[in-house]
Amino acid sequence: MNEDFKSFGETAKGLSKNPLGIIALFIVLVYGFASLVTAFAGSFSANEKLPLIYFLVLFPVLVLGVFSWLVSCHSNKLYSPGDYKNEENYIRMQLNVATSLAAATVKSPEGSLQDGDIDKIADAAVSIASYGNLTSSGFRQKHILWVDDRPENNVHERKAFEAVGLSLSLSLSTNEALDTLKHYQFEAIISDMGRKEGPLEGYVLLEELRKHGDNTPFFIYAGSNLQEHKKEAYLKGAQGSTNNSQELFVSVTDAIKNRKVRW
């Protein structure tokens, strides 16, 4: 008996290290108490047994619903650093992502870090790291096509994506991008708006892709973050439009993470 309690204690200690484990531990404890009550149910009246029956039937359904909601809406919060194969890699990834996003923010149109930017960058790093490198695969072997005739402008942004294991290919023009897409598949496409070919080349590329049935997630990374430009991009078939490196980072990685479900 003592060995059983000791074993349960070790298991409980391990489960308590992350939210998923806590949920599992809570279920075990609840059903443990339910089992004790059921053992003495013979002394209960029919009216006293009814709530217990309802509980035993409905509780699993409730837990399944909550678990499904957590997985679909808050999967990035279900893990702790201890779930990673190497906690040092976890910390290193967070630092690399945060550093790259901070550098990208400094050179953004606003020109400097604003109030709250550091917290947002840190949250983005934790969020992406939590599902970006949880296993040996993570984002590895997944590729992004970045279309920009001045790639030196997004060096830091690319480093942030590379920090979570993503690979990037560069195209300097619409035609080069279309030719690349004939031979390779990508998890997402990021494009600037104006290039030497024209002021709206981002939309030209997007329209060409959608016309041929290519539904690869497409993001505009240009100089505007106005709501009217975001809406226009959505209406044309893009998944996002921004001039904010943090917003781009989270939007693109979310799209890649969920693409296996949506496409």
| Segment 17-29 mean pLDDT | 69
What's the pLDDT at 42? 66
Mean pLDDT computed over every residue of the chain: 75
> Element (H or E) spanning 240, and its range?
strand 240-242
Give residue 87's Cα distance to chain centre: 19
Is the separation of the CB atoms in 25 and 16 below 8 Å? Answer: yes
Give residue 93's Cα distance to chain centre: 15
Fold topology of 85-262: Rossmann fold (3.40.50)
Phi and psi (nearest 5°) for 56? -65, -30
pLDDT tens string 84-104: 555 555 545 555 666 666 666
| Segment 18-30 mean pLDDT | 70
pLDDT tens string 61-90: 787 787 777 666 665 555 555 555 555 555
Give residue 44's Cα distance to chain centre: 49
| Burial of 43 (C-beta count, 10 Å sphere; 0-12/13-18/19+) | exposed
Domain-by-domain residue ranges, the chain? 2-73, 85-262
Q: How far apart are CA 30 and CA 12, in angstroms?
A: 14
